[in-house]
Structure 1
Amino acid sequence: MSEPRARSLAGAPWVRTRLRTAPTAALLTAALVFVTAFLAAALPRALDRGADQALRELVRRHGPLAGSVSVTVGRFAPAAGSEAASGDPAADLDRKAGAIAGDVPAPLRLAAGGPVYGSAGRFPRELPDGGLPRPGGLPPKLGLVYLNAAAGHARLVAGRWPTGAAPRGHVEVALSEATAATLGVRAGSTLNAGAPGAETGAGVSAEVVGLYRPDQVDSAFWAGTPCLAAACLSTVRIGFEAVPFWSATGLVGRDGLPGLGAWSAGSTDFYQLPFDLAALHADRLPAARSAVASLIAGPANTRLVADLGQPGSQVTSTLPQLFDEAAHRQTAVAPLTEVGPAGAAAVAVAVLCLAAALAAERRAGELRLLRARGASRAGVLGRLLGETAVTVLPAGLAGTLLALVVLPTGRWVASVLAALAVTLVAALGLPLRALALSAAPRPGGGRRRLVAELAVAAATAGALAAVRRRGVASGGDGVDLLLVGAPLLLALTGALVLARLHPVLIGWAARRAGRRPGLVGFLGLARAARGDGRHQRPSVLPLLALLLAVTTAGFGATVLDSVAAARERAALTAVGAGARVAAVSAAALPEGFATAAARLPGAGAATAAWTFDAAPVGTPGGALISDVTVIVIDPVVYAALARDLGQGVFDPALLADDGRAGSPVPALASPDVAERLGGAPRAARLRSGELQVRVAGVVDGTPAVNGAGGSKTMVLPAGPVARRFPGIGRPNLWLATGRLAADPLRELLQRLSPADAAATGPARASAAASASGAGSASGAASRQQGRDSYSVRTKAETAEELAADPLQHTAARLFWTSVAAAGGFALLAVLLTLVRAAPERAALLARLRTMGLRPRQGLALILAEALPQPLVAALAGGLVALSAAPLLGPAVDLAALVGAPVPAGLRTAWLPVLLQVLALVAVATATVAAEVAVSGRRQITTELRAGDVR
């Protein structure tokens, strides 16, 4: 017998034959597995990338020094002539900085520039030169600092860098261009520091040998030394008044380092260790926290102190607090970042199982024939495994590799495991379902199903009880998977109940339709109620996929809607009104500001007010309440503000004045103040004079003080107070309802207050204008100071600031991506069900058309048969999502997503859930209509072939 003949008798290869028989089904299965494996592998990596970005942004938002560790070592003022004998201080700093850099433990990694180090004078010296600006009548102060490699981070714009080669009593310094413009000096100027200090024998002057411009003013290199990149307007309290003066810092060279302590009565060596934020990963947060703790007080700190060789070193950092905040925020947003992906994963598994079940059902006759001809169950199972492995494994591997390449992160185990789980479900679904179909039916299947459904219901009840008792986020480092899966368990229970009720509901609708004229509706609903008489199509899986998708989307939309409402509420509480403008360093608001601001777009009810801090108020016992904040405001507008805020609501008639000159002014007081004052008139001392007030009502807060009210406040009507004190002056506070933008208010302040800004520092402006090339810089500084004289806050801007957190954006973006994926898989479940029933439905339509059924009636028949399932599932999913708010809402903490402390709980959001339901219904209807349009083009003769069983 020849070899080809023997091969033909041995039989054709099973896998190759099956793939050639149904290539389209194999390609579609591979595409489904590829997309699902890619999403499964991409999900953990997207979570890691979002958490890493949020962690780094959290550190960046706290300033350029937040991601670093500071080491300082103090030195006393050296004795005369001792610097020369001490060697090279700059070389000593270089050696110690290199040793400290080697003490940084993993996983921390220094930034590319390495440590920033140098030595700063302990105390600045006054510059009594009369030509220098004196904003409050005080002379400016100059401190000195040596900063290693400063020339590499700045550009010299005039003169040269200091060398230190100067006679005794004289110091060479370099100033920043902005500092020189503020002080009104240039390269070559000499700054007189007064007579020599008897205790130090220090020099008395500093020569400005050069001017420089920093490359990046906001970098960690320049931010570590105050008043170095630009002069600072500092204040000193003299009596009850804060008097401003200018503080500046000058750079000395390496050769001038020995004289630094003499100028400043001692110096402090500092070493700034900025860490590379790209090396910070949220999954390694505990290790990074331990490393920082070791540097502050641990083994790394011991090595660091030994390298310094100096006692009294201090190691400080804000990273431990930031790491704790980051860990808390990650745990708080985990429900949203987990619920959406978990819902998408559950829908994807349901679709994979549905595809496997439909494929096994389609080949049920073939498998029974193989078993009847003697094939063993193990043999059939092995052949099916080989068939699915050839299709599924390459697709799963390709999807996993694509996710690993597209979304690079440090971790890959979770992604690979998730993709592997998806691949195994896809590979084992068809063989296991086929094995179940080929097995002989066992009695008691209905009881086992009932027991399983009751177990799911019990697990759901336990999860809901645990959520309400402990909260969604657990107290540990991670998230309780049972609690996070509570919405999914709720949806699963709803799907099981709906699977039980679906035939009953559709059967009732079919009976109602049967009483009406026409058979199309009755026939379609009857077929939807009882399914195909020859094939038992899976019914729970499509319902589960649809209901999971709607529940997940609805629950997440409820969370996001609650977050948006809570954020608006938090912004209103923080501002106290739609807009708030207060005079900070200026005495009052500009003339005409209140009238002009009330005409801005978006302004509602607006009023100007006067606030008096620490106003003494007399008590019945003769004592004084010295720290009462008095607000003089229009009562009608104030009542509207209080209603918007929901705090301190009152009737404006309480502040109505009787008009008599000697009568006390009615007042609203906080509870503690009202209790101590009683109902009799009392004396309140304002800056304009003494005023008799009478408590007419009690309020629990005022929007005029820090948005939510102070502990001791008193509100007076503006009209009666102005009549008693005609010289009360311009108001220092402006409040308005509505939704105003902050920029027009700031522009209006800048336009109306040029005199106020210039009046705060006339000497500075004149001195700066006299310097060559410094006029424009001085004008800019004056305008900036004018803007800083007023505080402008709006509800809209505050809400935007709260919403600018990258952690919130990441959570919301990931959730909506998961919702889109879940919706796509749910529609795929609908499409799979339609495609599986399409041949039999097409044959039915062809037979009915021979009996006179019109095409439009055929479309109505298919819609009546196919749409009840997605419609009922969408409505049930919406109801489950709405029920999740009262069931799970009280335990959900929204503070991390809002960005401010807010009460826990979700509010029922009907509109977002309704939109999700309508979207799914619309897309499902379009899918059914498209399938009907395609199937309707088939010829009747093609569908009515003799002997065709569909």
Structure 2
Amino acid sequence: MPKGTTLSGGPLVRLRAALPAALHIVRAGEAPTAALALGALMLITAFLAAAFPRGVDAYETRGVRAALSDVPPDQRTVQITAGRTDTTPRSHTPAVLDRQDAALRSQFTAPLRISPADAAHGVRTTAPLPSHDPGLARPDGVDPRFSLYAVSGLARHTAVAQGRLPRPAAPGSPTREAAVTVATARALHLRPGSPLHVGGLALRISGLLTPHAPEGPYWAVDPLVTTPALVSEGTPPQKLWQAGLLLAPEDGPALLSTKGQPERFWRYPLDTGALTAGDAPLLQNRVRSLQRGPGLARLRGVVGPGGLADSAVDGLLDGFARTRDAVAPVVAVAACGIGTVAGVVVLMTGGLAAARRHRELALLRARGASLPGLVGRLAAETATVALPAAGAGYALAVVLVPGERLLTPLLAAAAAGLLGTLALPLRAAAAHRRTRPDVRADLVGGRPSRRRTVVELTVLVLAVAAVLALRRRGTGSGGVDVLVSAAPVLVAVIAALLLMRLYPLPLRLAARPAARTRGLSGFLALARAGRAPAAGLPLLALLVALTTASFGGSVLAGVADARDRAALAAVGADARLTADKPLPRALLSSLTAVPGVQDAVPLRLSTQPADDNGPPLYLVIADADAYARLARATGLGAFDATELADPGGDHPLPALVSAGVRTRFGDAPMVLQPEFGQLVVRPALVRRDTPAQPGGDFVVVDARGVARLHPDTYADPATGPSVVLLAGRSLDPTALRGTIRTHTPAALPTRLALRSTTRAQYADSPLQQGAERLYTAAVAAGAGFALLALLLSLLQTAPERARLLTGLRAIGLPAAQGRRLLVLEALPQALLAALGGTLTGAATLRLLGPGTDLTPLALPTTSGPTGTAPVPLHPDPASLLLPATAVLLLSLATALLQSLIGQRRTQHTERRKEAPTRKEAPN
């Protein structure tokens, strides 16, 4: 550079401006292992942050589609009717109805989409009309009644079995054609050409039709069109047929001449194939608008002032929203836990990098580098790795995880990338805020500052508020409350702060007796544990992860237990065989030979009317010994069989009764009237449940006492057992069904209910399955981040431990004592994390359990005998102990592995030093 040239202009200025960025990239490339580790961590963290909201979208979308598609077609159809009082024939012609149909369809815009192929419109009678024609089926001599339909699209949805489709009546012709389905013709004794007179109209059957997809939306709204119904009316009840007749659309105006109260109708089945969870609120608003809002006004502008819209979609979406709002708070607890652990791990990574570069950064500060300049330089270095990795994680989540939202996952991944970018600069800024000599911050010797005390008290207040809010409102109040969702995390934070304050005390107490022992390992390990820096972030990460794992494991265990109990209450045993008539004796004797069946208890179950006009009583007659054995095996009202022993004579039979029977009738004997005679029973035992009848009021008596009182009628095969309860967790359903088919007459229908099948039905909701899978994934990810936090904390002290081993080896410390020293040094903090995590998890479950309702996650909205009883959260021992034990074992195993690696490195160094000496020995 020529003399006097400065860096104040031209290309030199641009070179100087580009130099820091180039240096940042070069500096990041100097430590490829650290850069790759940071990139991998940010990729995983950003992927999880973006995948979580998309996963929620995915299972909520499956849930809303199932809520609308797993119901009969008439419940997901919008029905529009108009004009029962409109007697203008012109408004009932096909041309007018077609124009109105086109105008109505234009109002169905996304997300209110319809299935055009299954839509229908026309004219129908709403009041059934009798027919007095001879030859029609009359079970009790009552004339059948018909509903008339002039509907569009008939040719597309039927196949002609006999005859032809109805044709429009010729001008001036008094007779019109009508078609019926094959089922209607068979029941009413109709055939092509049969004359009918209905409501003053002369009709002739033109053909018999076979509907395409009779359970589809085109036919399911009016089931009488496809299948006639045999109904009972009057006193005494008399049976009569009701059916539908299909006319040509052009004959719709003719229905005005009848007394069937004709009306115009339009039916639009919804298309749920493209519906998403985000569309559900707007779809519900559109449906409500059609029923009682601006949409209804536009609808009446098309069909007339009498137009009305009706649909069950509004109620179905309400049910979905209630279940989603009840499940969301439980899932949000897992999201808050894994988010906290992931954030702590990212901060720990920045702290580890700051500790590794402590001397470099201290030297820069000593040479005059400003704190903002240092922070900017470090941020630029980490940004070259963290931000591209976060972007890749977001892209991976968008590709791999189905979902609709893009902005929320993008913001979550960007937040993860920003935290990864700023973790090292902020940690370095805190450590090098002032240029002064390093002061060792011992765990035992350190004293908490006032600022830390204020922060701890603030967190304590938030934690108490969160716990009180959760216990008062619960998770079933609907919607996600951030404070309530963060309650387990806040409790874990308080526990970590408390343990950090209490941890030095046992170290001081244990160091005194260790100083008087002969061995070196114990005293040195405790001294080094006390001189270690306060491990706030690692302990916080472990406690939050262990608390989240304990909470999540208890949630999953509670869900599984609730489904098991609900299935057992619904079936009464592992399998239940029921028939309307007594079962064959050959079948009863062969059931015990079915593979996997451990016990088979036949019983008689009958319903007895109550004298107090209350609910009926369920009388259960079974062998007391076998029934008591089954009750103990199932856990449903276990009792001692000897308490039901027959006292003999004219004494009432002792009975096992429900609490409701005891409350209603007291302890006095009661008279029952089964089909074989009178029974006098007295309550001897009271239980809440019993296998034969888990719900309702029941009375259980011993079959031997009944047989003694009624030896003739009770032994009659016509009054034999009609119910068999089977016990056996490993029973073979296929073999059981085969045995039932072999030993049961074809005329005797039977019903087999399996506990396993019933339990699976409680978990078939996509909303529940998706939330459960997402919760399991969150707990697993939280456990992975916790293990990573443990490894990072051990890596941070690994260089210092390696130097210690080398020094102790140089002064003659045996290798076994070196390994023992490192294990004993890691033991206090490992015990602190494991024991603290277990106690914190147990305390969290005790505090938050009463406010956590697992019913929406565990069971459907209607769960049979279990009703709507809430499913509380209880501590699960395995979820409390297994994660803490894994942390303890992993910590000790890592310390042991580190000592072995250090020992091998020391031996390798000693061999290299001894090698020249061996070569010079011959001289």
Range into which the TM-score falls when normalised by the shorter chain: 0.7 to 0.9
For the 8 Å contact 2:631–2:690, the answer to whether it is kept is yes
Do residues 448 (structure 1) and 451 (structure 2) align? yes
Q: CA 1:169–1:582 in structure 2 vs 1: closer, same or farther (change >3 Å)? A: farther
Paired position in structure 2 for 1:21: 30
Counterpart-to-counterpart distance in 2, 1:520 and 1:567? 52
Corresponding residue for 2:405?
411
Q: Report the more deviating stretch, 836-845 or 260-269.
A: 260-269
- Alignment of 1:909 with 2:876, yes or no, is yes
CA apart distance, 1:454: 2.9
Offset, 1:629: 3.4
* CA distances 1:532-575 after superposition (whole Å, capped 9, x unpaired): xxxx5x61111111121111011111111122222222233334
The corresponding residue for 2:192 is 190
Equivalent-residue separation in structure 1 for 2:492 and 2:98 (angstroms): 64
Q: Give the corresponding residue for 1:821.
A: 781
Q: Which residue of 1 aligns with 2:555?
A: 559
Whole-angstrom CA distance in 2 between matches of 1:309 and 1:480: 47
How far the C-alpha of 1:679 sits from its partner, in A, is 7.2
Structure 2 matches for 1:707-786, cutoff 5 A?
A: 707-710=694-697, 718-720=706-708, 722-723=710-711, 725-726=713-714, 729-737=719-727, 739=729, 751-756=742-747, 786=749
The answer (yes or no) to whether the contact 1:889–1:905 under 8 Å persists in 2 is yes
Cα distance change on mapping 1:859 and 1:238 into 2, 3 Å: farther
SS of alignment partner, residue 803 of structure 1 = coil
Q: Is the 8 A contact 1:190 1:207 kept in 2?
A: yes
CA distance in 1, matches of 2:6, 2:59: 62
Shift of 1:468: 2.1
The 8 Å contact of residues 181 and 210 in structure 2, kept in 1 or not, is answered as yes
User: Within 2, Cα distance between the matches of 1:41 and 1:119?
Assistant: 53
SS of the equivalent of 1:273 reads strand
The match for 2:464 is: 461
Q: Is it true that 1:34 corresponds to 2:34 in the alignment?
A: no
**Could you say which residue in structure 1 is the equivalent of 2:763?**
803
SS at match of 2:48: helix
Tell me if the contact between 1:846 and 1:944 (Cα under 8 Å) persists in the aligned partners.
no
CA contact (8 A) 2:562 2:871 kept: no
- The verdict on how the C-alpha distance between 1:814 and 1:182 changes in structure 2, with shifts beyond 3 A counting, is farther
Partners in 2 of 1:645 and 1:200 — Cα distance?
A: 65
Deviation at 1:401, TM superposition (A): 3.1
1:222/1:228 contact within 8 Å kept: yes
CA distance in 1, matches of 2:404, 2:261: 47
Q: Per-residue deviation at 1:856?
A: 5.5
Residue type at the aligned position of 1:915: L
Structure 1 residues 744, 396: CA separation in 2 closer, same or farther (over 3 Å shift)? same
1:808 CA drift (Å)? 2.1
CA distance in 1, matches of 2:837, 2:665: 58
CA contact (8 A) 1:684 1:693 kept: yes
Q: Cα 1:378–1:610, aligned 2, differ >3 Å: closer, same or farther? A: closer
How far did residue 366 of structure 1 move?
A: 2.0
Once residues 573 and 272 of structure 1 are traced to their aligned partners in structure 2, the CA distance between those partners, rounded to angstroms, is 41
- What is the TM-score when the length of structure 1 is the normalising length? 0.80
Q: Deviations over 1:20-54 (max 9, x none)?
A: 43233223222222221221122122122222222
Q: Tell me the alpha carbon deviations over residues 859-880 of structure 1, each in whole angstroms, 9 at most, x when there is no partner.
A: 4444444454344313321221
Partner of 2:286: 291
Code of the residue aligned with 1:427 in structure 2: it is: T
Match of 1:149 among 125, 148, 153: 153
1:410 to partner: Cα distance: 3.2
CA contact (8 A) 2:551 2:845 kept: yes
1:492 is aligned to 493
Look up the match of 1:370: 364
Q: Which residue of 2 aligns with 1:43?
A: 52
Measured after TM superposition, the shift of residue 282 of structure 1 is: 3.4
For 2:479, what is the secondary structure of its paired residue? coil
Structure 2 CA distance, aligned partners of 1:334 and 1:61? 22
Cα deviation per residue 1:617-670 (whole Å; 9 max; x = unaligned)? Answer: 5xxxxxx8596435241261555666677777766556544555x776666666
Distance (Å, rounded) in 2 between the aligned partners of 1:928 and 1:67:
62
Deviations 1:789-841 (A, max 9, x none): x5543433222211222222212211121122222222222222333333333
Instruction: Return the offset for 1:264.
Output: 9.7
Write the deviation string for residues 81-107 of structure 1: whole angstroms up to 9, x where unpaired: x9xx64773333333332223334664
How far off is 1:370 after superposition?
1.9
- 1:308 pairs, out of 276, 284, 303, with 303
- In 1, are the aligned partners of 2:594 and 2:739 still within 8 Å (CA)? no
Task: Please list every run of 5 or more consecutive structure 2 residues that lacks an aligned counterpart in the other structure.
Answer: 440-445, 914-923
Please tell me whether residue 845 in structure 1 is matched to residue 805 in structure 2: yes
Residues of 2 paired with 1:434 and 1:234: CA distance? 84
Partner of 1:200: 200
Q: Which moved more, 1:292-301 or 1:142-151?
A: 142-151
Give 1:881's aligned amino acid.
G
Among 100, 103, 110, which residue is 2:107 paired with? 103
Distance (Å, rounded) in 1 between the aligned partners of 2:907 and 2:664? 94
CA distance 1:32–1:590, change in 2 (3 Å) = same
Distance 1:945 1:499 in 2: 44
Q: Retained in 1: the 8 A contact 2:605–2:722?
A: yes
Deviation at 1:604, TM superposition (A): 5.4
AA paired with 1:911? A
Q: Is the 8 A contact 1:157 1:213 kept in 2?
A: no
Number of matched residues? 879
Alignment partner, residue 766 of structure 1? none
2:66 paired residue among 54, 57, 61: 57
- TM-aligned CA distance change 1:121 to 1:842, over 3 Å: same
Pairwise CA distance, 1:141:
7.7
Q: Which residue of the partner structure matches residue 353 of structure 1?
A: 347
SS of structure 1 residue aligned to 2:719: coil
Quote how far apart the aligned CAs of 1:126 are. 7.7
Q: Secondary structure at the match of 2:207?
A: strand
Residues 928 and 175 of structure 1, relative CA distance in 2, 3 Å threshold: farther
Identity across matched positions, percent? 35
User: Judging changes above 3 Å, is the alpha-carbon distance between structure 1 residues 225 and 597 closer, same or farther for their aligned structure 2 residues?
Assistant: farther
Shift of residue 910, structure 1, vs aligned partner:
0.6
Select which of 893, 901, 905 maps to 2:853: 893
Structure 1 stretch 845-854 or stretch 567-576: which is displaced more? 845-854
* Aligned residue number for residue 769 of structure 1: none
Match of 1:401 in 2: 395
Separation in 1 of the partners of 2:528 and 2:163? 93
Q: CA deviation at 1:431?
A: 1.7
User: In 1, Cα distance between the equivalents of 2:392 and 2:336?
Assistant: 23
Q: In 2, distance between residues paired with 1:174 and 1:907?
A: 60
Deviation at 1:254, TM superposition (A): 3.7
The answer to which of 573-582 and 549-558 deviates more is 573-582
Instruction: Give the match for residue 218 of structure 2.
Output: 221
CA contact (8 A) 1:156 1:210 kept: yes
Shift of 1:892: 0.9
TM-score, length-scaled by structure 2: 0.82
Give RMSD over aligned pairs.
4.4
Against the structure 1 CA distance between its residues 512 and 277, is the aligned structure 2 distance closer, same or farther, given a 3 Å change threshold? Answer: farther
Q: Cα gap change, 1:208/1:652 in structure 2, threshold over 3 Å: closer, same or farther?
A: farther
Structure 1 residues 663 and 857: alpha-carbon distance in aligned structure 2, compared to 1, 3 A threshold: closer
